[in-house]
Structure 1
Amino acid sequence: MKCPHCDYSNPEGVRLCLTCGHELFSRETPEQDPNSLFYEFAQLVDGIPSNRRSVKPKFQNIFSRVFRKHSDIEAERLFIVGTSLTTPKIEEVAATWPKPWLFARVFLIMLIVYLGLYLGVSLFGNINFIPGLIVVGAFAVPFTTLIFFWEMNAPQNIAIYKIVYVVFIGGILSLLLALIFYDILRSNINPITIGIVEELAKVVAVIFFVRHLKYKYVLNGLLLGAAVGVGFASFETAGYALRALLSDSFHMLYNTILWRSVFSPGGHVAWAALTGAALCRVQGDSKFRLNMLIKSKFVFIFILVVMMHALWDSPILNSLGQLILMIISWIFVFRMIRIGLNEITDKKKRLTVT
């Protein structure tokens, strides 16, 4: 629609001119849904009639689109969500059941880049490739996992730029907090205190982002918690990889990146995602208060991730044990996704009744 004030041609359904901010509809004009074209486009891209969509959690359908052919338009459609113009109302969320696929493409891209950097170092002996190798190797799998959580965020109310912001700010904030806690404990460092310190540091970082009511859904907490966990895990892996390199061992460098990448989805990322979801679950539509941290629904999840973290770091656990812990973590992640999707359904029903 052309703005009567500056003649700028705005997309249909926009209430305010994107250039000058002039109101495009008078108060007498029937209000139009600013998201209507977006969802019409989404339905066209997804190819699924709206009356056949559901947010009911069906595990067997989650990965049904990973191996399908997807166009650039579909990816572009995913990346425009979360803005003021493309965030759906809660009543409209049931129109889309998350079936993530982009995370697999992101992993493939990261893998190709890492292999290129690896060849640059190992085949051509160019040390200029080493910083890129460490950074890409540290972020590849955690960031891929984060894209999965982002696609599973059914409310579609968090833009990708916000997620990148949380990864870096939340990651460094949680790491610095962990160092402060470690400095306080000093000689009392063991697997249990490590679990408490690091998980508590990530919880504080998540609180910083969800303390306002903008991100109030369980799936929001799952995503933001995962973002903090990605920053924490990736920075930590990069540090361990550099330490291995300084020991004059390229074998240890590659081994560190490989194994920490393999287990990262079930470690820091999943644990922070769970505590973030639990935090939003107890917070609900209210402003954050410290007494929410003693509610049973949060305490149970926090104790669970602390114990898994402690077991993970204990010398009695081998790679098989860590794999089992990783599976347990993701069982709880998918249970939390189920809770988040049911939360949306319940809120939609309450709005329909009122």
Structure 2
Amino acid sequence: MNCPQCVYSNPEGVKFCLSCGEKFIKGNSQEEDNSFFYEFAHYVDMVPKLEQSVEPKIQNIFSRVFRNHSELEAERLFIVGTALTTPKISEVKSTWPKPWLFARVFIISLLAFVGLHIGFSYFSNINFIPGLIIVGAFAVPLTTLIFFWEMNAPQNIAFYRIIFVVFIGGIVSLLVALVFFDILKNIINPITIGIAEELAKAITVISFVKYRKYRYILNGLLIGAAVGAGFAAFETAGYALRALLSGDTQNLYTTILWRGILAPGGHVAWAGLTGAAFCRVQGDQPFNLNMLFRVKFLRVFILVVLMHALWDTPITGMFPYGHIFLMITSWIVVFLLIRAGLKEISEKIELQRDGARGF
């Protein structure tokens, strides 16, 4: 079954191309699908087949979330990033990726959390508490991370590497932040908290990407999101445990709920923005400390610190409306950097083609 769009050779029985996601045609009409969401997604997905635009089309980005996807499609996603499965830059598509796996991860996490909640709340079995806290803390950060992983168009980072960064990067960034807090213990306020935590994550992210193996903007976005996801999840687990030890079970659920709702626009997005900004500055060049003082990096990092400081500022009415506004702001910048990352790939593809032609 060769895909008519990308000519990828698919195994028999799949409904969508495992490479580009194109829905296969049977006879002269598409397979019947009574899903309203599929029809809507298909309608907004009608873009020219040869289009190479990287302009944002938000409705198209999420158009495959409600489609049916086989296990083979998910399995193919999880094998990218190895020496054998990383595509050449000339084979990478510079159009906006259309992620869908993140939604399945969220549903699975939600079902697991509900099961753990039933075990603890209705059967009063305390053995479910550790799982309840862990799943509740990791569910949304991990879901957001999977979204960034699917948006990594170069497909050059293996998933096992991402898990490594989540755990090691999350722990290291927390420890570095504690060092900064100890230094700044006499002047703790929202600004110093923002500086300490964002600087700690920035140092950790840069330590993972500075050796140029991950040199694309989208790579920095993903590695940063992995560090931020670990930071956010471990921090949430700590706050949830404190709530539990205080004897207030309702506060435990409230902590997990609100930190989960706000997680996509917090540590995950902020660290992702820092990583993307650094990779945008570094490019193919060797690491140099002067890179940290370039305008393209500083303006993003300062913005992240300011958003973090506002997030922690005890302004009346800040929660939750102010946090929601900051979430939206964070994701506007995220999509701007995703677009910059796709343009970067498009330019590299063109340079390689020009080189092949002898220009």
Q: TM-score range by the shorter chain?
A: 0.7 to 0.9
Letter in 1 for 2:99: P
1:240 is aligned to 239
Cα distance in 2 for partners of 1:287, 1:82 equals 22
Question: Any conservation in 2 of the 1:225–1:273 contact (CA below 8 Å)?
Answer: yes
1:44 is aligned to 17
Tell me the CA shift for residue 212 of structure 1: 1.0
Letter in 1 for 2:54: K
SS in 1 for 2:83: coil
Question: Any conservation in 2 of the 1:283–1:292 contact (CA below 8 Å)?
Answer: yes
**CA distance change for structure 1 residues 92 and 76 in 2, over 3 Å: closer, same or farther?**
same
Letter in 2 for 1:247: S
Deviant stretches of 4+, over 3 Å:
37-44, 48-55
C-alpha offsets along residues 291-339 of structure 1, whole Å, 9 cap, x if unaligned? Answer: 1000000000000000000000000022101000000000000001000
Letter in 2 for 1:308: M
1:142 is aligned to 141
1:347 is aligned to 2:348: yes
Cα distance in 2 for partners of 1:212, 1:38 equals 35
Cα distance in 2 for partners of 1:51, 1:88 equals 21
1:82 is aligned to 81
Question: Any conservation in 1 of the 2:94–2:343 contact (CA below 8 Å)?
Answer: no
2:37 is aligned to none
Cα distance in 1 for partners of 2:299, 2:70 equals 42
Tell me the CA shift for residue 96 of structure 1: 6.7
C-alpha offsets along residues 42-72 of structure 1, whole Å, 9 cap, x if unaligned? Answer: 9832237996364624322100000001110
2:157 is aligned to 158
Cα distance in 2 for partners of 1:144, 1:38 equals 31
Tell me the CA shift for residue 143 of structure 1: 0.2
Question: Any conservation in 2 of the 1:53–1:97 contact (CA below 8 Å)?
Answer: no
Tell me the CA shift for residue 203 of structure 1: 0.4
Tell me the CA shift for residue 97 of structure 1: 4.4
1:328 is aligned to 2:303: no
Cα distance in 1 for partners of 2:170, 2:59 equals 32
Tell me the CA shift for residue 95 of structure 1: 7.3
Tell me the CA shift for residue 109 of structure 1: 0.3
Letter in 1 for 2:290: N
Question: Any conservation in 2 of the 1:181–1:197 contact (CA below 8 Å)?
Answer: yes
Cα distance in 2 for partners of 1:53, 1:105 equals 28
Structure 2: runs of 5 or more not aligned: 1-5, 25-47
Cα distance in 2 for partners of 1:230, 1:346 equals 30
Tell me the CA shift for residue 287 of structure 1: 1.6
TM-score, normalized by length of structure 2?
0.85
Cα distance in 2 for partners of 1:253, 1:150 equals 30
Cα distance in 2 for partners of 1:93, 1:270 equals 24
2:111 is aligned to 112
Tell me the CA shift for residue 352 of structure 1: 1.2
Q: What is the aligned residue count?
A: 318
Letter in 2 for 1:192: I
Cα distance in 2 for partners of 1:264, 1:169 equals 19
1:14 is aligned to none
Question: Any conservation in 2 of the 1:53–1:94 contact (CA below 8 Å)?
Answer: no
- Taking only aligned residues, the RMSD between alpha carbons, in angstroms, comes to 1.9
1:56 is aligned to 54
Tell me the CA shift for residue 94 of structure 1: 1.8
C-alpha offsets along residues 216-253 of structure 1, whole Å, 9 cap, x if unaligned? Answer: 00000000000000000000000000000000010000
41-50 or 128-137, larger mean C-alpha shift = 41-50
